[in-house]
Structure 1
């Protein structure tokens, strides 16, 4: 029986593992990216390839060491190199002696036949069509639960009385959801996880900043690639709202584009009316929408050499001035260090806090 693996993006691996096993596959769960993962990826990837390609290269090599012989991944559309990742990874792996099968899911909204063919190829248990749909629905419900619990952790962490409580409860909650199998069990685990996070002792009087995070999908979703920036910000008293979760991205690329996605495009249109690939236009649009909602600041996360995010970076200073919202950009690669990032985040949040206090005092005087 083939041993199947896939890219790791945050906690979504728990959902994909369940779905692939339901279809009769033996799954090699991708390990959390580590320094060794990145070292392997850098060794075998082109020097100026973007950061996600290198991490995924290292992940695949580690999974091959664990016995994987089939990789399931996604393609892409538009002017972005991400759509070529699978082909390049496959060629590199073949050149260094690994005869790996690559199954590439293109966006089903654009390539429905590709989706159907790949699902049937992975259906080793010969599950009926009705059964496949049932398994997909249950996996979707688990993915929703994982995203909802992560969102709640972003609200709780900056308000917790004891530092580290949210992270400890969140880790337990992930295991509850992971162990749930049926849809009722998943819903029960989600409810218990949300309740556990809400019950963490919090300081309701604490001044909490609200910061949005935009950028390229992989460095947004995989904490190992962004050096746990969301947890760091939470510990600094910042409630984070990420512009992208896997459920939203999946809806936009599987069915029809959501109203939310269309609103982002409309917001970005005066500054960037054309598709530049990746999530460059989304970074502009979401920054504007967050500014209109009264956010204190924005952070852009971008892989080094990512053209769409470089384009967005050149426009964001104008957006920042027009909407009076501070924007901090991190370009991430194998040289990025957590200590340096933490120092910049501390300085940024200090500035945001002073700005917020000054605005409050000004409002009191004028009021």
Structure 2
């Protein structure tokens, strides 16, 4: 079994760690390019959401690289994301691709359901090994977000923005390569220190909040790499959601880290009393 999955920002680092922990051979989707998008647009319904189209391109390129199994998340609620997997599976079958697809359904706040689904995917892994794999993936998610937030702060303030971008890229690669928590910690500390030592200017910083649908916030190819582009223009961008926030709020019921979800919903209640899916 050679497993792939959809690309969404830097989440591939944690997903790779999770699947390797489940003793699966991983074929990550290549980074999203114009070809990825062209494939998705060509073979997807015109009215479909952009993330669905990018995912189609992801899967085609991963299959071309040898993947024979696709892991896709399911869902429920008003967002069409809940039907992505079924639609994508039929599109790829119609194109003649041979593969298996596993759909991980949202566990409705019951984390044990997630472990059970993962255990079913990796038959040669014990329940405890599945838990260990999930915990290490969660550790990598938080490590990556530490680097992302440091990058978002330093880039607009730095004098040599090329240097900051290079260090950030190297940092993500180091975390991706790490096989244990100690190595992850070393990578994060090393590159946070390096970014902190980058020369900073005294220019004015414009602070911008980035809101919207989770995929288009996290995946640079779907937002014209807006965080980096604005950072190069001396604007600090703060996102309204990070991967760990979504997992904590929607899968773990806010038990892992402090959450302001209830406060946000309360503030929105006079204006919006309906769940709108991925936004």
TM tier, shorter chain? Answer: over 0.9
SS at match of 2:200: coil
Matched, 1:173 2:163: no
- CA shift for structure 1 position 63: 0.8
How far is the alpha carbon of 1:100 from its aligned partner?
2.3
Q: Is the aligned partner of 1:224 residue 2:221?
A: yes
Q: Which residue of 2 aligns with 1:84?
A: 83
Picking from 172, 180, 183, the partner of 1:182 is 180
Structure 1 residues 179 and 164, CA, compared in 2 at 3 Å: closer, same or farther?
A: same
1:236 CA displacement: 0.8
Question: Structure 1 residue 113: deviation in Å?
Answer: 6.6
Q: Which residue is equivalent to 2:37?
A: 38
Q: Contact (CA 8 Å) 1:20, 1:122: kept in 2 or not? A: no
Matches within 5 A, 1:95-106: 95-106=94-105
* Other structure's SS at 1:91 match: helix
Matches of 1:197 and 1:5, distance apart in 2: 32
Deviation at 1:180, TM superposition (A): 1.6
Decide whether the 8 Å contact of 1:108 with 1:255 is kept in 2. no
- Asked if 1 retains the 8 angstrom alpha-carbon contact of 2:245 and 2:259, the reply is no
Displacement of 1:249 in angstroms is 0.7
Q: Helix, strand or coil for the counterpart of 1:274?
A: coil
1:150 maps to which residue? 148
- Partner SS state of residue 209, structure 2: strand
Inter-partner Cα distance in structure 2 for 1:223 and 1:131: 33
Q: Which residue of 1 aligns with 2:277?
A: 277
1:27 aligns with 2:26: yes
Partner secondary structure for residue 246 of structure 2: helix
Paired position in structure 2 for 1:199: 197
Distance 1:106 1:92 in 2: 20
CA distance in 2, matches of 1:168, 1:47: 37
Task: Give the 3-state SS of the residue equivalent to 1:107 in structure 2.
Answer: coil
Which has the higher mean CA deviation after the structures are superposed, 265-274 or 209-218?
265-274
Provide the C-alpha distance between the structure 2 equivalents of 1:89 and 1:114, rounded to a whole number of angstroms.
24
Larger Rg: 1
Question: Are the equivalent residues in 1 in contact too, given 2:74–2:85 (CA < 8 A)?
Answer: yes
CA distance in 2, matches of 1:76, 1:132: 21
TM-score, normalised via structure 1 length: 0.72
Query: Is the Cα–Cα contact under 8 Å of residues 106 and 114 in structure 1 kept in the other structure?
Result: no
User: C-alpha distance in 2, partners of 1:113/1:150?
Assistant: 29
Q: How many residue pairs are counted as aligned between the two chains? A: 276
- Residue 114 of structure 1 and its aligned partner are, at CA, apart by 5.0
**1:74–1:105 CA contact under 8 A, matched in 2:** yes
Structure 1 stretches of 5 or more lacking a match?
A: 280-367
Name the structure 2 match of 1:140: 138
CA positional deviation for 1:231: 0.5
- Contact map agreement 2:19 2:133 (CA 8 A) in 1: no
Q: Does 1:131 align with 2:118?
A: no
Q: Which runs of 5+ in 2 are unaligned?
A: none
Q: CA deviation at 1:111?
A: 6.1
Counterpart position of 2:120:
121
Q: Which moved more, 1:95-104 or 1:138-147?
A: 95-104
TM-score by length of 2: 0.94
Q: Relative CO higher for 1 or 2, CA cutoff 8 Å, sep ≥ 6?
A: 2
Residue 240 (structure 1) aligned with residue 237 (structure 2): yes
Contact 2:141-2:244 within 8 A present in 1 as well: yes
- 1:70 is matched with 69
Q: Does 1:5 align with 2:4?
A: yes
Q: CA deviation at 1:207?
A: 0.8
CA distance in structure 2 between the partners assigned to 1:240 and 1:208 by the alignment: 10
